[in-house]
Amino acid sequence: MSNQGPKTLFDKIWSEHLVGQREDGTNLLYIDRHLVHEVTSPQAFEGLKLSNRPVHRPEATIAVADHNVPTINRQNIEDPQSKIQVETLAKNTKEHGIQYFDLMDQRQGIVHIIGPEQGITQPGMTIVCGDSHTSTHGAFGALAFGIGTSEVEHVLATQTIVQNPAKNMRISVNGELPFGVNSKDLILYIIGKIGTAGGTGHVIEYAGSSIMGLSMEGRMTICNMSIEAGARAGLISPDQTTFNYIKGRPYAPGTEHWDQAVEYWSSLPSDNDANYDHEIVIDSSEIDPMVTWGTSPEDVVSVKGTVPNPSSAKTENKKKSIERSLEYMGLKPGTKITDIKLDKIFIGSCTNGRIEDLRKVASIVKDKKIASHVQAMIVPGSGLVKKQAEEEGIDIILKDAGFEWREAGCSMCLGMNPDQLKPGERCASTSNRNFEGRQGRGGRTHLMSPELAAASAITGNISDIRDFT
Amino acid sequence: MDKFHSLKGIAAPLPIVNIDTDMIIPKQFLKTIKRTGLGVSLFYEMRYDNDGNLIKDFVLNTSPFDQSKILVAGDNFGCGSSREHAPWSLKDFGIRSVISTSFADIFYNNCFQNGILPIVVSPENLDQLMTAAKNQIEFNIDLPEQIIKAGNHSINFEIEEFRKERLLQGLDDIGITLGYQDKINAYEEDKKNKKPWLFKKN
């Protein structure tokens, strides 16, 4: 990558963070913020201890327990292993002087919800976390990606990471979003179009009027699922919407630096004639509310569509893959999506556990009751999202409709805590992965937007929000 | 880190595309605070039934594949989460190399941190190697020469030079980077002046 000529947003952040080149030819990239949670960090701290290495810059790391925390009765974590993991994080962060939001702290929540919420996430930063959905923070124009535990240890010890530059891909979505279509539908549509390996080796920059018209919450949903398209990171240019969101948050630049920061952030958007390795342009009018039918996030279809037939697959591999998915999902080819009956509804996760998501759900289920055969739960993304919702009376609306109102955490998105599907149970989920066994062994996940999940909770079948009044 | 030079043995065929990290090591095994002991839980839901008994016809439960050091798998292996438990469980089982047409980025990187060699081959070569694996033909992977030999097949593969060197020598990545401590400190001093808000104490 040359220093001359037009640059993409990615190129700009990359060159600004380059510490230097090692003798082996790899690049050392400086990391501005490191987010740490209980599942992927214990072995990293242990590694530091074994080699007697200190944490290079403790104040650049923020820690929280989210993956296996219970969403009820959280004073006592019953699972002894989960308990040890949470306690280990508390101990490790204390030992190294790292800021830790404990379970009783209102700021506790899903790591990718609280970063933006606290103003930790800012444009132009490099942000890493031992979690693939770190891509979420790209919504602010920060280069943010998931890393493994060995890399967590590397970042703790050196505040850098060994990287080589990614390729640039731009996905532009233009036009006003049709009624009933939102950011979740957009990203599911994109994954369906390019496939789960479509973004491998790339950072995806999302652009176009449909994207730039989204709220920060909507932008986070898009960037969050970049990893499901195989990309390590997603990026959206920072603009006034971004600055307005950040201003005044606890970790945001204060008044003494605000103007200087905004000036820098305003220089970040990609240059007009910047070069991309791949470009995709989508007209938003072609997008419907989307639902997954299979066991990969690329297995998407319009809510008006039907379960695909393996015989229509273009390759033998794809055919086998569809057959395997249908068997696991207990679905027959040709079944109308809206004829699929549900057992559970899960609303939450780092994809859709923010206040805006909860408001949408509340507006749909207000003065209604969930179907008698479904169990529905809402898990706010953070303690502060929960508090905000309670201040707005959202919790009352949801509880009156029959939803369970839980404490913040990752919960049934990955089922590390007790919130899991039982074998054969079918769930409408606002989360990000429909992998086999993801939400519980034998559990069947249909990914969709909060609006669709809310409408589906009321009818008991997967439902099109556009038919729902 | 364990060195990797060459590897000889039979390979287990796993002709499934998009094998994700939840399949490789399900969530209930992520509660450990150790790197070891995960091999017994590798591919748990494909390997064990609801009562925890071995599913006899799953490839890694059958002889001689239960001793495999190599895995031949479908496209986009290792997609999904960043959990390093995935390569930890493969390694603990005894697998030191995975062959596929493509790997998810984070998983690919995680392999090299643990002395595992992920090898990308063409779809045509994957078909050949899948058949060879099914026929229990011995594989011979030579990292210095960047070649896989299996029966009549002799397949060259690409690997970035620094990754190759690190595997061959079993280098400690953090140790190398700490050799650049002065550069890191200088970078920080420079940015403290240029972007002071990034160094604000809360």
Residue % of chain B over a pLDDT of 70: 100
Residue count of chain B, please give it. 202
B115/A contact by beta carbon, under 8 A: no
**Using CB atoms, which residue from B15, B31, B184 is nearest to A159?**
B184
Task: At A207, list the tokens.
Answer: 């652009």
Which pTM was predicted? Answer: 0.96
CA distance B104 to chain A (A): 6
Q: Do B82 and A232 touch (CB under 8 A)?
A: no
Which residues does A259 contact at the CB level (< 8 Å), separation at least 6? none
Instruction: Please write the tens of the pLDDT for every residue from B79-100.
Output: 999 999 999 999 999 999 999 9
Per-residue pLDDT, B114? 95
Q: Is the pLDDT of residue B27 over 80?
A: yes
Q: Is the pLDDT of residue B175 over 80?
A: yes
A130/B contact by beta carbon, under 8 A: yes
Per-residue pLDDT, B202? 64
Select from A12, A30, A38, A39 the residue whose CB has the most chain B CBs within 10 Å, as the one to mutate to test that interface.
A39
Backbone angles phi, psi at A445, to 5 degrees: -110, 130
Q: Do B184 and A22 touch (CB under 8 A)?
A: no
Q: Please report which confidence band the pLDDT of residue B30 belongs to, taking 50, 70 and 90 as the band edges.
A: very high
Residue count of chain A, please give it. 469
Q: Is the pLDDT of residue A1 over 60?
A: no
CA distance A256 to chain B (A): 9
How far is residue A405's CA from residue A386's CA, in Å, rounded to a whole number? 9
Instruction: Please write the tens of the pLDDT for every residue from A19-33.
Output: 999 999 999 999 999
Q: Please report which confidence band the pLDDT of residue A4 belongs to, taking 50, 70 and 90 as the band edges.
A: confident
For chain A, give the mean pLDDT: 96
A contact residues 277-336, partner B, Cβ 8 Å cutoff: 296, 317-318, 320-321, 324
Residue % of chain A over a pLDDT of 90: 96
Q: Is A413 in a helix, a strand, or coil?
A: helix
CA distance B82 to chain A (A): 5
**Using CB atoms, which residue from B79, B160, B200 is nearest to A230?**
B79
CB pairs under 8 A between A and B: 195
Residue % of chain B over a pLDDT of 90: 97
Chain A residue with the nearest C-alpha to that of B202: A251
For residue B19, list chain A residues with Cβ-Cβ distance below 8 A.
none
Q: Answer for the pair A389, A358: CB distance below 8 angstroms, yes or no.
A: yes
CA distance A314 to chain B (A): 15
**Using CB atoms, which residue from A158, A196, A414 is nearest to B178?**
A158
How far is residue B148's CA from residue B159's CA, in Å, rounded to a whole number? 13
Q: Do B184 and A24 touch (CB under 8 A)?
A: no
Q: Do A81 and B31 touch (CB under 8 A)?
A: yes
Q: Is the ipTM of this complex over 0.90?
A: yes
CA distances from A136 to A91, A142, A154, A202, A247 (A): 27, 9, 22, 15, 19
Which residues does B179 contact at the CB level (< 8 Å), separation at least 6? none
Instruction: Please write the tens of the pLDDT for every residue from A381-405.
Output: 999 999 999 999 999 999 999 999 9
For residue B72, list chain A residues with Cβ-Cβ distance below 8 A.
none
Amino acid making up residue A100: Y
Instruction: Please write the tens of the pLDDT for every residue from A39-86.
Output: 999 999 999 999 999 999 999 999 999 998 999 988 889 999 999 999
Per-residue pLDDT, A462? 98
Q: Do B106 and A232 touch (CB under 8 A)?
A: yes
Per-residue pLDDT, A76? 85
CA distance A92 to chain B (A): 12
Mean pLDDT for the stretch of residues A261-268: 98
Instruction: Please write the tens of the pLDDT for every residue from A92-148.
Output: 999 999 999 999 999 999 999 999 999 999 999 999 999 999 999 999 999 999 999
Q: Is the pLDDT of residue B201 over 80?
A: no
Contacts 24+ apart (CB under 8 A), B155-163: B155/B121, B155/B125, B155/B128, B155/B129, B157/B119, B157/B120, B157/B121, B158/B120, B159/B117, B159/B119, B160/A164, B161/A24, B161/A25, B162/A24, B162/A25, B162/A26, B163/B112
Is the omega angle on the peptide bond into residue B64 within 30 degrees of 0, that is, cis?
yes
B120/A contact by beta carbon, under 8 A: no
Q: Answer for the pair B81, A132: CB distance below 8 angstroms, yes or no.
A: yes
For chain B, give the mean pLDDT: 96
Q: Is the pLDDT of residue A320 over 80?
A: yes
Per-residue pLDDT, A3? 59
Q: Please report which confidence band the pLDDT of residue B61 belongs to, taking 50, 70 and 90 as the band edges.
A: very high
Chain B residue with the nearest C-alpha to that of A255: B197
